[in-house]
Amino acid sequence: MKVLITAGPTREALDPVRYLTNRSSGKMGYALAQALVGAGHSVLLISGPTELDVPDGVDFLPVETAAEMYAAVAQSLGRIDIAVFAAAVADYTPVKVASHKIKKSEAPFTLELQRTRDILGSARAELGFSGTLVGFAAETEDLEANARDKLTRKHCDLIIANDVSKPGIGFGSDRNEVLLVYPEYNEALPPASKHTLAHHLTSAILTLHARLEDARLEDSRRKT
């Protein structure tokens, strides 16, 4: 299979020395890329800035901003069988970026933000992706409900959700605990290292892809 994975955070510049970002380390996406390559698949890893080593055997495309990640995904998605969007992409970006460092003053400072393009939400309708679509959901409350809402709104085949408010898992940690949210049911995976969890997720994603491909073939046979 040809697999696209996004990972890490994005950075949205405020001025030449400051930016908006989030706590994502990229560890889960990188571990998943490594596991899929180890299973014999071709992986394109599109990553925001991290401190991680690029896994051996992956095609690597570094980006910084949400706009750059959207452009990289749009350019690559047409040749992909499975797309896994694990990156924590900024939802907002500054309307204006200062050309020089913003100086501190006594006056209040107001920052005007605008929405970034929704990469996962654009995959089907705007970018025409027809393969297996997997998204991640980092939540702090109502994990299942929010993940299932995301699954429906963004036309995913699977959402991998985790509660980042729990200590010891999620952003920056070497461990994670996830809930797999499918259209028909949920499956909870116990806490594990992100390396171990990546192998379980690889198996789940490949099994899902095979099932969806069988359904597509059967549907094609009925139509002919």
CATH number, residue 170: 3.40.50.10300
Instruction: Tell me the C-alpha distance between 96 and 223, whole Å.
Output: 52
Domain assignment of residue 104, yes or no: no
In a domain? residue 100: no
pLDDT at 103 over 90: yes
Catalytic residue positions? Answer: 22
Domain annotation covers residue 157: yes
Query: What is the average pLDDT across 60-87?
Result: 98
Tell whether 130 is covered by a domain. yes
pLDDT(224) > 80: no
Average pLDDT over the chain reads 96
Domain-embedded: residue 6: yes
Per-residue pLDDT of 161-203, as tens digits, reads 999 988 888 788 899 999 999 999 999 999 999 999 999 999 9
Which of 220 and 77 is assigned the larger pLDDT? 77
Q: Name which of 13-17, 120-124, 166-170 the model is least confident about.
A: 166-170
Give domain status of residue 102, yes or no: no
Asked if 86 contacts 7 with a C-beta cutoff of 8 angstroms, the reply is yes
The 10 Å Cβ neighbour count of residue 6 is 29
The beta strands (E) that lie in the chain are given as 2-7, 12-13, 19-20, 42-47, 59-62, 82-85, 92-94, 113-115, 132-139, 158-163, 175-181, 186-193
What per-residue confidence (pLDDT) applies to 183?
Answer: 97
Which structural domain range is residue 53 located in?
2-91+110-223
Number of structural domains (the chain) is 1
